[in-house]
Amino acid sequence: MPKTSTGETPYSLVYGTDAVIPIKVKEPNLRYSNESGPRNDESILQDLDEVEERRDMAHVRKIAQKQQAERYYNKKAKVRPLRVWDYVLKAKTQTTKDPNEGKLGTNWDGPYKITAATNK
Protein backbone atom coordinates (compact mmCIF):
# COMPACT_ATOMS: atom_id res chain seq x y z
CA MET A 1 0.00 0.00 0.00
CA PRO A 2 1.28 3.50 -0.73
CA LYS A 3 2.35 5.44 2.34
CA THR A 4 0.49 8.68 2.93
CA SER A 5 3.66 10.61 3.68
CA THR A 6 5.47 9.70 0.45
CA GLY A 7 2.67 8.66 -1.89
CA GLU A 8 4.74 5.64 -2.94
CA THR A 9 5.08 2.06 -1.78
CA PRO A 10 8.34 1.20 -0.01
CA TYR A 11 8.96 -1.55 -2.58
CA SER A 12 8.68 0.87 -5.50
CA LEU A 13 11.11 3.31 -3.86
CA VAL A 14 13.72 0.57 -3.50
CA TYR A 15 13.30 -1.40 -6.74
CA GLY A 16 11.67 1.14 -9.03
CA THR A 17 8.59 -0.97 -9.84
CA ASP A 18 5.46 -2.04 -8.04
CA ALA A 19 5.30 -5.51 -6.54
CA VAL A 20 3.04 -7.91 -8.41
CA ILE A 21 1.35 -10.94 -6.90
CA PRO A 22 2.01 -14.02 -9.09
CA ILE A 23 -1.73 -14.75 -9.32
CA LYS A 24 -2.30 -11.37 -10.98
CA VAL A 25 0.32 -12.13 -13.63
CA LYS A 26 -1.47 -15.34 -14.66
CA GLU A 27 -4.83 -13.59 -15.07
CA PRO A 28 -5.49 -12.04 -18.49
CA ASN A 29 -4.87 -8.33 -18.08
CA LEU A 30 -3.94 -5.56 -20.52
CA ARG A 31 -1.10 -4.41 -18.29
CA TYR A 32 0.70 -7.75 -18.47
CA SER A 33 -0.50 -9.24 -21.76
CA ASN A 34 1.09 -6.50 -23.90
CA GLU A 35 4.52 -6.88 -22.33
CA SER A 36 6.96 -9.11 -24.16
CA GLY A 37 10.57 -10.03 -23.39
CA PRO A 38 12.58 -7.16 -24.96
CA ARG A 39 9.86 -4.59 -24.37
CA ASN A 40 9.59 -5.64 -20.73
CA ASP A 41 13.35 -5.26 -20.31
CA GLU A 42 13.19 -1.74 -21.75
CA SER A 43 10.38 -0.73 -19.40
CA ILE A 44 12.28 -2.12 -16.40
CA LEU A 45 15.39 -0.14 -17.38
CA GLN A 46 13.29 2.99 -17.79
CA ASP A 47 11.73 2.45 -14.34
CA LEU A 48 15.20 2.07 -12.84
CA ASP A 49 16.26 5.34 -14.46
CA GLU A 50 13.25 7.11 -12.96
CA VAL A 51 13.59 5.63 -9.45
CA GLU A 52 15.91 8.43 -8.22
CA GLU A 53 13.41 11.05 -9.35
CA ARG A 54 10.60 9.15 -7.60
CA ARG A 55 12.68 8.99 -4.41
CA ASP A 56 13.34 12.72 -4.56
CA MET A 57 9.66 13.50 -5.08
CA ALA A 58 8.71 11.18 -2.20
CA HIS A 59 11.25 12.96 0.01
CA VAL A 60 9.77 16.34 -0.93
CA ARG A 61 6.23 15.13 -0.14
CA LYS A 62 7.40 13.71 3.19
CA ILE A 63 9.02 17.02 4.20
CA ALA A 64 5.91 18.95 3.11
CA GLN A 65 3.70 16.72 5.26
CA LYS A 66 5.99 17.22 8.28
CA GLN A 67 5.91 20.99 7.79
CA GLN A 68 2.11 20.91 7.56
CA ALA A 69 1.89 18.93 10.82
CA GLU A 70 4.34 21.36 12.46
CA ARG A 71 2.26 24.38 11.36
CA TYR A 72 -0.90 22.73 12.70
CA TYR A 73 0.76 22.00 16.05
CA ASN A 74 2.32 25.46 16.37
CA LYS A 75 -1.01 27.10 15.60
CA LYS A 76 -2.56 25.43 18.65
CA ALA A 77 0.45 25.70 21.00
CA LYS A 78 0.40 28.55 23.46
CA VAL A 79 3.80 30.15 23.95
CA ARG A 80 4.43 31.21 27.52
CA PRO A 81 7.72 33.02 28.10
CA LEU A 82 9.56 32.05 31.27
CA ARG A 83 11.23 34.73 33.36
CA VAL A 84 13.82 34.74 36.10
CA TRP A 85 12.41 33.60 39.49
CA ASP A 86 9.56 31.60 37.90
CA TYR A 87 9.04 28.07 39.20
CA VAL A 88 9.02 25.17 36.74
CA LEU A 89 8.67 21.39 36.83
CA LYS A 90 10.97 19.03 34.94
CA ALA A 91 9.53 15.87 33.37
CA LYS A 92 11.06 12.59 34.51
CA THR A 93 12.35 10.22 31.85
CA GLN A 94 12.38 6.42 32.01
CA THR A 95 16.01 6.50 33.11
CA THR A 96 15.44 8.95 35.97
CA LYS A 97 12.26 7.29 37.31
CA ASP A 98 12.64 5.02 40.32
CA PRO A 99 11.66 1.49 39.19
CA ASN A 100 10.42 0.68 42.71
CA GLU A 101 7.71 3.39 42.52
CA GLY A 102 5.86 1.65 39.67
CA LYS A 103 3.28 3.44 37.57
CA LEU A 104 1.92 5.40 40.53
CA GLY A 105 5.20 7.26 41.02
CA THR A 106 5.63 10.96 40.30
CA ASN A 107 6.09 12.07 36.69
CA TRP A 108 7.78 15.38 37.53
CA ASP A 109 10.86 16.63 39.37
CA GLY A 110 10.86 19.97 41.06
CA PRO A 111 9.81 22.65 41.52
CA TYR A 112 12.91 24.41 40.24
CA LYS A 113 13.47 28.15 40.32
CA ILE A 114 14.81 29.87 37.17
CA THR A 115 17.90 31.85 38.14
CA ALA A 116 19.21 32.96 34.73
CA ALA A 117 17.64 33.50 31.31
CA THR A 118 19.10 32.44 27.96
CA ASN A 119 17.86 32.64 24.38
CA LYS A 120 15.18 30.05 23.55
pLDDT, tens only, 37-61: 676 667 767 777 777 888 888 888 8
Distance CA 71, CA 25 (A): 44
Closest CA to 101 of 111, 92, 110: 92
What is the pLDDT, as a whole number, of residue 72? 92
Do the Cβ atoms of 25 and 32 come closer than 8 Å? yes
* pTM metric for this prediction: 0.45
Distance CA 69, CA 82 (A): 25
Task: Report, as an integer, the average pLDDT of 1-5.
Answer: 65
Mean residue pLDDT of the chain comes to 79
Between 13 and 111, residue with greater pLDDT:
111
